[in-house]
Structure 1
């Protein structure tokens, strides 16, 4: 059976663990040790999932057995550096480079990404040449690729648009557990001297009309202190706190769809 690679944003690591925890067909979990995997590995252990750590330098040789073993279905996880979101063109370049590399040792690749500022809007076209050997897929609803990880968590483009319309009276940050965990990194808050960055962010929020932060309940508990992290953010910026319901349906469907494409079962 084949080797499926999940190429994922670190913000979606909880969703990756959830997928693996609930798929009893997976015989082997492989994690690429590229320096971005520590939190994921900790959560895999928390979920009771055994895994093997692979060196990025030897992926082709190390994965050859898994890809060609007719008795096993293996999933390999590659976490992409979160900081690349700040530079969409570089993010696209790096992810495309990884797809070219991982496509040589995978039976299929699923990106745990959305459009991310439209940098992945032509992914299907750009990698159509791999369709027969290593199909490449990305998170999408029934009509198109989702905008980002928030849209995926809310259930798709229609749900995302409806949510944004409901919240249009005031600017609202939408936090999943991992987004709440990593907001300082995402917003590039200086860990040594955070006061300057926080002051600047307050001014930007005032100018753009942001006054609220919403907790999106994903149904997952792999990231600790979600409520506390959101409340801390709200207190720093004097924001109102809301709650929204999210879920795992879209992630599960996209995973099952590519699994069906490469091994023929759901």
Structure 2
């Protein structure tokens, strides 16, 4: 039974919750226990997606148990899920089994590209110890992750978020808008936009603002918030992306963005997003790990 590891930025947490909750063949889902995982768990529970939260050190033995005895501790939850799927008219029979292990990383790591790459490389190294393949729910992030790879000596292919032409997306915004071309078009047609917000990024705006200020202080720079930097760079707008996912209420998203925009005298622009890239890349990575097993 192959293992697909997923390492995801919280910026794409809603998209990840969506693909996992809509996968009616998924029977084995484990989320690595850390401070960033609990909102994902809550969103999965809201969609009746059974899963376990486990510490790093518990996972290897847990995977052995699942492979040896089948669902084991997950069985009652999985049977309930199958029953619900039947009531809802969804497919209830599993295809080829795959175990998915998810590792959610905190938002705003890309404040420093070196820190982002080092942190992601460390997590890839840890997950490659028990994964057959790893899907990164990340873009290139300002080319910080352009040459990210599996540690030498380990056979664990990496899968990336790509657009329709197979090109890796620049960042989470390109993934949400449908690809790099769509991202470029959004930039050119919305002059003055300094930041594009997914619903998750909107809900974390205050946190990002504080993290940027903390970073400037720690590096002995003039204390500045994220909003201060946007204004200093001459940006006059902030974009709000609607992906159609409703894990976070429209009221909460709009209130947060409008409050941030008002504080820094920015205009709010609304844009339509998409989950196509998340859905397709998840499906492709899962199919590949099954066929390679």
Q: TM above 0.5, one fold?
A: yes
* Paired position in structure 2 for 1:235: 262
Partner of 1:105: 130
1:166-205 matches, cutoff 5 A: 166-168=189-191, 170-188=192-210, 203-205=228-230
Could you report, residue by residue, the CA deviation over 1:196-217 in whole angstroms, capped at 9, with x for unpaired residues? x998656533432211122111
* Deviations 1:180-234, CA, capped at 9 Å, x for gaps: 100121232679xxxxx99865653343221112211111011231121111112
What's the counterpart of residue 20 of structure 2? 20
* CA shift in 2, pair 1:247/1:11, >3 Å: same
Say whether the 8 Å CA contact 1:137–1:258 is kept in structure 2: yes
> 2 CA distance for matches of 1:108 and 1:27?
18
SS in 2 for 1:227: helix
Given the superposition, is the C-alpha separation of residues 200 and 108 from structure 1 closer, same or farther in structure 2, using an over 3 Å criterion? closer
In the alignment, what sits opposite 1:255?
A: 282
Q: 1:64 aligned to 2:64?
A: yes
Q: 1:210-221, aligned counterparts within 5 Å?
A: 210-221=235-246
| Structure 1 pair 82–172 and aligned structure 2 pair: CA distance change class (3 A) | closer
Using structure 2 for the length normalisation, give the TM-score.
0.79
User: Which residue pairs with 2:158 in the alignment?
Assistant: 136
Partner residue of 1:194? none
The runs of 5 or more residues in structure 2 that have no matched partner are 71-95, 215-221
Contact 1:3 1:67 in 2 (8 A): no
Q: TM-score, normalised by structure 1?
A: 0.87
CA distance in 2, matches of 1:137, 1:146: 12
C-alpha RMSD of the superposition: 2.6
Deviation, structure 1 residue 83: 4.2
Q: Report the equivalent of 1:222.
A: 247
Structure 2 distance, partners of 1:242, 1:257, is: 33
* 1:41-52 pair list within 5 angstroms: 41-52=41-52
